Amino acid sequence: MTLKERLDADLKEAMKAREAGRLRLSVIRMAKAAVKNAEIAAGRALDDTGVAEALARELKQRYESLAEFEKAGRADRAAELREEIAILQSYLPEQMTPEEVEALARQAIAETGAAGPRETGRVMAVLMPRVKGRADGRLVSETVKRLLEGEAR
């Protein structure tokens, strides 16, 4: 079953559940809309990778909003966002731990022979396809920069 088919099936299930799945229903509808917008932007139907990327963008927006709501003291809205994040994460592959990202970053640094922060781009070009959809780009970038700064000293 493709990711889009799974979204469709879960949407039908949430609609049948009525009131019990209200938040789940709205999150799935939002996810389907995000996928449709990504397909329109791409000018073609998306495969599972493209669908996962669209969902990852939505997830990233939720994390950014969560930080803002927590900073503003809006615990009610922050709790709702955490639930939305959990629903979205159920459609994405399991995320890598920082330790796993660091191990792959060290491997990519060794492969490219990078010796300092100036070569971050080369390392990222090798590393990003390996972690795509399974790790946050910011985490990967920070890890590579930290490791390369340590190498340069």
Give how many domains the chain has, as a whole number.
2
Closest listed residue to residue 97, CA positions, set 143, 65, 54 = 143
Host domain of residue 131 = 98-152
Domain check: are 15 and 39 in the same one? Answer: yes
pLDDT at residue 153, as a whole number: 47
Token pair of 103 as six digits: 């191990």
| Residue 120 three-state SS | helix
Domain check: are 82 and 107 in the same one? Answer: no
Query: What is the CATH classification number for the domain harbouring 128?
Result: 1.10.10.410
pLDDT, one tens digit for every residue, the chain (153 residues): 899 999 999 999 988 887 666 889 999 999 999 999 999 999 999 998 889 889 988 988 998 999 899 999 999 999 999 999 999 999 988 888 899 999 999 999 999 988 888 888 999 999 999 888 788 888 899 999 999 887 654
Domain check: are 83 and 8 in the same one? Answer: yes
Q: Please give the Cα distance from 9 to 31 (Å, whole number).
A: 13
pLDDT at residue 48, as a whole number: 87
pLDDT at residue 20, as a whole number: 65
